[in-house]
Amino acid sequence: MQKTFQNKIVLVTGGSVGIGRSAAEAFAREGASVVIAARRENEGIAAGKRIHAAVGKASFVRADVAVEADIAAMIAYAVRTYGRLDVVFNNAGIEGKLGPIETVGAADFDAVFNVNVRGTWLVMKMPCHI
């Protein structure tokens, strides 16, 4: 029986921990070669090794989705490593500063927006042939 993502190349942003790591593992179990992209290098490398050892193909690239150059580099890495990119799972996100609205400054808001909204938008608009 063919697996759902057999022979697909999947990029998971924020794939080093939590939901992202679980999603990366699930894609790999379903036959995908997974590129884990995240800011935290140690956790990302560990997640890739864990997937590679247990269920399939995975690699890690350090990237911050709030940085456009990092996005271009992570997509270029996926294409250079696997020849193409079929699926992007935009999972990267941050919680930001918590508290009453009057305690959250514009810089705090901008940091959350730049990762959670702008970062997702930048990833989706970046051409996959880089």
Render pLDDT for 47-84 as a digit per residue (tens, 0 to 9): 999 998 988 899 999 999 999 999 999 999 999 999 99
Query: What is the DSSP secondary structure assignment for residue 30, as one 8-state letter?
Result: T
- Output the six-digit token pair for 2: 């063919």
Mean of the per-residue pLDDT values of the chain: 93
Mean pLDDT of 9-37: 96
pLDDT band (50, 70, 90) for residue 1: confident
- The domain ranges of the chain are 9-125
Mean pLDDT of 31-57: 93
Render pLDDT for 91-107 as a digit per residue (tens, 0 to 9): 999 999 999 999 999 99
Query: What is the DSSP secondary structure assignment for residue 101, as one 8-state letter?
Result: G
Residue 89 host element (H or E): strand 87-89
Q: Give the type of residue at 105.
A: G
- Report the C-alpha gap between 82 and 18 in whole angstroms: 25
Mean pLDDT of 2-20: 95
What sign has the CA pseudo-torsion 54, 20, 39, 37?
A: positive
Q: Work out the burial of residue 96: count CB atoms within 10 Å of its CB; fewer than 13 is exposed, 13-18 middle, 19 or more buried.
A: middle
Question: pTM higher than 0.95, yes or no?
Answer: no
What CATH architecture is 9-125? 3-Layer(aba) Sandwich (3.40)
Number of separate helices (H) and strands (E) present in the chain:
5, 4
Q: What is the pLDDT, as a whole number, of residue 129?
A: 58
Q: What is the pLDDT, as a whole number, of residue 130?
A: 56
- Report the C-alpha gap between 123 and 120 in whole angstroms: 5
| pLDDT over threshold 90, residue 108 | yes
| pLDDT over threshold 70, residue 128 | no
Do 40 and 51 form a contact (C-beta atoms < 8 A)? no
